[in-house]
């Protein structure tokens, strides 16, 4: 479908920013432009920042069209570094049982690498299909936290996907793009701490990688922990998925704050509850200010100015 003017795209990969534009609404054209901006990135994890500041994974032209409708002036696309595939385990065979190679058949030595390449490609296809399935589940899995009611009593533990909140408001986005990650983490952590001071809860604020490792206890019995997924896990997503699998008896009283649809869908299969950052923050701001007219974005950006 032709459009009258270019759509402007801001592309972010870790700490580097680039710009490109689209002349047609086509995910393939976008992917081609992204490859020109950055040679190496994870093509299975292309995200955009929606109108609420949430990161949303997308992979189709229909999803791109929706993204452009939400952000007609400037679409911010966030990329991730390509992950190195985990090595495929090879069964060890004792020396006496190994089949001797025939030197005159050179083509035999090439067969294992070709087979390995095929196996890796199959794993990548399976990963894409799995993520597509979980994104589909995630679309319907979010719950809404009622602003005018008490905090749901069944949720005694909350996980906050820190990296997912790094583009939430103009102020946080500015800090992130300026590589002021310590300040960004401090803002997100301070919100969790303000929440825990009023609601008895166990809160875990987790980032993909941060040197901050601390736990703070409050008189009302709350506990706030700031931690890093690395080095045990490559990302917060993997750490939360592992926790959900390993704690079947605790998932019912736990809630995760994230807008990652693939992560949401997978956590939902374990029985965990998930809410979008905007839903949780609206509750927090209303609880602290008792004013429904206060926009959570403005409240957060004011908090940044006071740090």
pLDDT tens-digit series, residues 157-185: 999 999 999 988 989 989 988 889 999 99
Measure the CA angle with vertex 61, ends 58 and 264; round to 5°.
Answer: 20
> Does residue 276 surpass a pLDDT of 90?
yes
Burial 97-117 (b: 16+ CB within 10 A, else e): eeeeeeeeeeeeeeeeeeeee
pLDDT tens-place string over residues 50-85: 776 778 888 888 888 888 887 877 888 999 887 655
CA–CA separation, 90 vs 137, rounded Å?
A: 34
CB count in 10 Å sphere of residue 80: 17
Q: Facing residues of 228 across strands?
A: 207
> Does residue 25 surpass a pLDDT of 50?
yes
- Name the pTM for this structure: 0.64
Cα 183 to chain centroid, rounded: 19
Mean pLDDT over 41-51 rounds to 85
Tokens matching residue 57: 């994974």
pLDDT tens-place string over residues 180-192: 999 999 999 999 9
The confidence score (pLDDT) of residue 188 equals: 96
Query: Token pair 């009283």 is at which residue?
Result: 253
> Does residue 2 surpass a pLDDT of 50?
no
Between 120 and 152, name the one with better pLDDT. 152
Number of H helices, E strands in the chain: 9, 11
2-79 belongs to CATH 3.10.20.90? yes
Q: Is 162 exposed, middle or buried (0-12, 13-18, 19+ CB in 10 A)?
A: buried
Between 3 and 222, name the one with better pLDDT. 222
Q: Is 151 exposed, middle or buried (0-12, 13-18, 19+ CB in 10 A)?
A: middle
- Say which DSSP state 83 is in: P
Least confident segment among 64-78, 228-242, 285-299? 64-78
> Does residue 113 surpass a pLDDT of 50?
no
């Amino acid at each position: 479908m032709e459009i009258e003017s270019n759509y402007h795209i801001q592309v972010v990969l870790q700490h580097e920013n680039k710009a490109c534009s689209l002349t047609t609404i086509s995910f393939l054209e976008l992917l081609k432009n992204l490859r020109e901006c950055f040679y190496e990135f994870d093509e299975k994890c292309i995200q955009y920042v929606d109108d609420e500041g949430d990161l949303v994974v997308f992979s189709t032209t229909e999803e791109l069209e929706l993204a452009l409708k939400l952000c007609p002036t400037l679409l911010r696309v966030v990329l991730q570094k390509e992950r190195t595939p985990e090595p495929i385990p090879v069964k060890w065979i004792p020396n006496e049982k190994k089949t001797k190679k025939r030197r005159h058949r050179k083509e035999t030595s090439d067969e294992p690498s070709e087979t390995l390449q095929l196996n890796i490609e199959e794993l990548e296809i399976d990963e894409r299909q799995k993520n597509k399935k979980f994104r589909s589940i995630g679309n319907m899995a979010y719950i809404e936290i009622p602003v005018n009611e008490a905090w749901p009593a069944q949720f005694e533990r909350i996980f906050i996907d820190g990296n997912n909140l790094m583009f939430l408001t103009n102020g946080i986005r500015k800090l992130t793009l300026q590589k002021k990650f310590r300040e960004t983490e401090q803002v997100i952590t301070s919100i969790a701490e303000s929440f825990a001071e009023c609601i008895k809860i166990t809160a875990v604020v987790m980032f993909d990688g941060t040197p901050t490792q601390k736990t703070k206890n409050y008189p009302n019995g709350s506990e706030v922990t700031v931690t890093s997924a690395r080095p045990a896990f490559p990302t917060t997503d993997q750490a939360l998925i592992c926790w959900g699998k390993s704690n079947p008896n605790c998932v019912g009283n736990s809630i995760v704050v994230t807008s990652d649809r693939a992560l949401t869908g997978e956590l939902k299969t374990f029985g965990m509850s998930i809410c979008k950052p905007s839903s949780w923050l609206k509750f927090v701001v209303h609880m602290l200010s008792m004013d429904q007219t206060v926009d959570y974005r403005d409240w957060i950006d004011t908090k940044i100015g006071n740090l």
